[in-house]
């Protein structure tokens, strides 16, 4: 799949790129919002932030731009519109299956766009970065943890998945999308994912079993009654599976006190996790 910058709108340190897509995404344009810190140079680290179910990339830019300035990282916020990537199948689940359940070629997954978008944005801004940090909240956290699971996240060096509503547990005995049965994920891919430093960041007050947009299917309920419980279950089960494989495991669950289901409230804590070496 080829990407090319179709247009750019720059205003101060914020810019909007429009990347024209080809192959399985021909006719679609990926809108990418960016924020460049005042001391940007070729070696500035990069964060990709994945928005939630309302596809509110602009709000994520507002939440994260002050943190990009404080921690001095290049911020990238792609927008997966509902028109081009409808429903959870196309976004949260990475466009891995068609509506009829048939598999989509790997090169046409939404997941596959991440590395390619990263390379294109780095080219535009003259960045030497070869790896990036990855964040997602709610539906974005669903995207992020599945991205790691199904690609191995070979170019990701630190990840936060915050307040996902439900998970694809890396269990080969549970049918997809709640597990990996039928997906043929290679052990080496899982080992790469387990070696990635990922914090499943959970709002301690994100514990409403009747919260809006919280999936109530029996398979989701088996992971726990609410987002807080499901996140803990996900890490606990993944740790046990990694142990069975004899694989190193660098994931952890971390609660944030007095925070509910809010990217804006979660972002400052996520930034500390993602950029511990750049606090000032």
Q: What is the mean pLDDT of residues 242-252?
A: 97
Residue 107, pLDDT > 80, answer: yes
Task: Calculate what percentage of the chain has a pLDDT beyond 70.
Answer: 95
Q: What is the pLDDT of residue 229?
A: 98
How confident is the model over 12-53, as pLDDT tens digits?
688 888 888 877 776 788 999 999 999 899 999 999 999 999
φ, ψ of residue 119 to 5 degrees: the values are -60, -40
Sign of CA dihedral 192, 194, 197, 203: positive
Instruction: With CA atoms as reference, report the closest residue to 220 among 276, 177, 257.
Output: 177
Angle (nearest 5°) at CA 127 between 14 and 9: 25
Q: 3-class SS at 214?
A: coil
Q: Is the peptide bond before 177 cis (omega within 30 degrees of 0)?
A: yes
Residue 242 has pLDDT above 60, yes or no: yes
| Tokens 């052990």 found at | 187
Cα torsion angle, 246, 106, 175, 232, sign:
positive
The position carrying tokens 């919280």 is 214
Q: Which residues contact 234 (CB under 8 A, 6 or more apart)?
A: 145, 164, 167, 169, 200, 223, 253
* pLDDT in the model for residue 199: 98
- % pLDDT > 90, the chain: 83
Residue-wise pLDDT for 158-204, tens only, equals 999 999 999 999 999 999 999 999 898 999 999 999 999 999 999 99
- Give me the domains of the chain, ranges plus CATH numbers: 3-278 (3.40.50.1820)
Helices 187-195/139-151 angle, 10° precision: 130
| Residues near 156 by beta carbon (within 8 Å), at least 6 away in sequence | 131, 132, 133, 134, 148, 196
**Residue 74: band (very low, low, confident or very high) from pLDDT cuts 50, 70, 90:** very high
138 — alpha (psi -120 to 50), left (phi > 0) or beta?
left
Token pair for 120: 């294109």
Phi/psi for 15 (5° steps) reads: -140, 155
Q: How far apart are CA 237 and CA 69, in angstroms?
A: 37
Find out whether 68 and 97 touch, Cβ atoms under 8 Å.
no
Contact 44, 74 (CB under 8 A): yes
């Amino acid at each position: 799949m080829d990407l090319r910058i179709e247009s750019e709108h720059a205003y101060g340190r914020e810019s909007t790129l429009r990347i024209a897509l080809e192959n399985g995404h021909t006719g679609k344009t990926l809108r990418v919002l960016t924020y460049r810190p005042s001391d940007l140079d070729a070696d500035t680290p990069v964060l990709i932030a994945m928005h939630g179910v309302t596809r509110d990339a602009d709000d994520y830019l507002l939440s994260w731009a002050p943190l990009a300035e404080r921690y001095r990282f290049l911020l990238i916020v792609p927008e997966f519109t509902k028109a081009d990537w409808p429903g959870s199948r196309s976004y949260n689940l990475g466009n891995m299956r068609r509506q009829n359940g048939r598999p989509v070629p790997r090169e046409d997954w939404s997941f596959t766009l991440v590395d390619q978008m990263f390379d294109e944005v780095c080219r535009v801004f003259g960045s030497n970065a070869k790896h990036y940090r990855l964040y997602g909240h709610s539906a974005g956290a669903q995207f992020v943890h599945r991205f790691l699971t199904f690609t191995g996240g070979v170019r990701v060096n630190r990840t936060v998945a915050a307040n996902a509503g439900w998970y694809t547990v890396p269990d080969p005995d549970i049918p997809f999308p709640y597990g990996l049965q039928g997906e043929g994920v290679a052990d080496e891919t899982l080992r790469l994912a387990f070696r990635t430093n990922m914090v499943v960041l959970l709002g301690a007050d994100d514990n409403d079993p009747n919260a809006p947009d919280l999936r109530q299917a029996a398979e989701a309920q088996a992971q726990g009654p609410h987002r807080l419980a499901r996140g803990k279950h996900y890490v606990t089960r993944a740790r046990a599976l990694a142990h069975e494989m004899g694989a190193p495991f660098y994931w952890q669950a971390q609660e944030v006190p007095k925070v509910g289901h809010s990217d804006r409230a979660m972002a400052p804590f996520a930034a500390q996790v993602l950029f511990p070496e750049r606090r000032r």
